[in-house]
Chains A and B, each alone.
Chain A
Amino acid sequence: MTEMTSVTNGTMGRVAYARIAPNEDLVIGVEKLCLAHGFRNAFVRGALGSLVDACLGANDDKFIEVKGPAVEIVSLAGEVRSDEDGAIKAALSGVVADPQGEIYGGLFVAGSNAICMTLEVTLEEWLPAGD
């Protein structure tokens, strides 16, 4: 049975900045950035860039598809966590603007958000106490 806790103590570690190239996936790209630097857990400290199109999860098990290019990322928040089996998984949500400046928000669907020109992202490593 998995132990549920509402508070995890820890400290911040290294800080990585990346420019991720076009046609890479936003969510998986952030996971690969963690692999590149050996981060097991991390928080997004800032990000901006553009997507070809955006695919966001909606509340009702549906998907919101925002047509580009380019769909600008105007807000991105999220974390990368290690699973019990050691695999890492990014969960990123945010707000995007379409080519008319209209905005939409939600959870970015992994594998379905190709970067258009660039993604600038800063991750701060999270070191949970006891790890």
Chain B
Amino acid sequence: MTITRSTSHSRRRTLVHPGKFNPVRIQSLYSDTARHVRLALMPGLSLFDGLVGPLAEIGIHNASTTILGGAFDSIHYCVAPPDPTRQAVIAYGDPIDAGRSYMIFGNATLGRDADRKPLVHCHAAFRREDGRVKGGHILTERCIVGPEPVCVLVTSLDNFELRLAFDPETNILLLQPFEERDHD
């Protein structure tokens, strides 16, 4: 059963990951200030291109963004059940085509992949045409903005960079903050 509703709750579970426990539990960096940008994702573009291109033009390569909602011609997403290979605790499943959908709310982190190319990590909730409300990990390059621009609030992260890097504890690649400056 996926959901239970009661006046008490279970003790939380502590999962055992495949790699060695890292005693550093919070990896964090800060900037003295941030730039805030209102970005409009333009119709017909992928969510990825609509975010990455305009922000790169104004020198933003690392950011935390909030997608304030809007119609998409298509949304593709996946969920994360337990990894059958047990190489990690969970693994993303196959892509799911939600079709034409309304994105209710989303958060997307902009950073770099291991080859320093732009990367967008996005989770969102959306309502499909059949009325069902779903959520998960959004495949941003396969999501196409609908007929109207979709508003995004961008908070730039200017004095450090986010980069996809291998995390030995979980045995997967994860976005992590690094001190190196972006020289692009």
Give every chain A residue within 8 A of B64 (Cβ-Cβ): 17, 45-46, 120, 122
Give the total of B residues in contact with A, Cβ under 8 Å. 66
Q: Which of A18, A47, A61, A111 contacts B27 (CB 8 A)?
A: A18
Given contacts A14-B31, A118-B174, 14 further A-B contacts (CB under 8 A): A15-B157, A19-B27, A45-B34, A46-B107, A48-B123, A52-B14, A53-B13, A62-B5, A70-B80, A95-B135, A97-B134, A99-B2, A101-B136, A117-B174
Task: Determine if A79 is an interface residue (Cβ-Cβ < 8 Å).
Answer: no
Give every chain B residue within 8 A of A16 (Cβ-Cβ): 28-30
Contact A21 B22 (CB under 8 A): yes
Contact B172 A62 (CB under 8 A): no
Bound complex: CA of A24 vs CA of B137, how far in Å?
Answer: 21
CB-CB contacts below 8 Å: A65-92 with B: 65-67, 69-70, 72-76
Task: Determine if A107 is an interface residue (Cβ-Cβ < 8 Å).
Answer: no
Q: How close is A78's CB to chain B, nearest CB, in angstroms?
A: 13
Give every chain A residue within 8 A of B12 (Cβ-Cβ): 25, 52-53, 55, 111-114
Q: How close is A128's CB to chain B, nearest CB, in angstroms?
A: 18
Bound complex: CA of A62 vs CA of B6, how far in Å?
Answer: 5
Bound complex: CA of A33 vs CA of B177, how far in Å?
Answer: 14
Contact B135 A17 (CB under 8 A): no
Give every chain A residue within 8 A of B34 (Cβ-Cβ): 12, 15, 45, 124
Task: Determine if B10 is an interface residue (Cβ-Cβ < 8 Å).
Answer: yes
By size class, the interface of chain A is 35 or more
Task: Determine if B96 is an interface residue (Cβ-Cβ < 8 Å).
Answer: yes
A interface residue numbers (CB < 8 A to B)? 12-25, 29, 32-33, 36-37, 45-50, 52-53, 55, 58, 61-67, 69-70, 72-76, 95-104, 109, 111-114, 116-118, 120, 122, 124
Known: A47-B107, A72-B79, A113-B12. A58 touches B125 (CB 8 A): no
Contact A33 B26 (CB under 8 A): yes
Q: Which of A18, A62, A74 contacts B28 (CB 8 A)?
A: A18
Q: How close is A105's CB to chain B, nearest CB, in angstroms?
A: 9
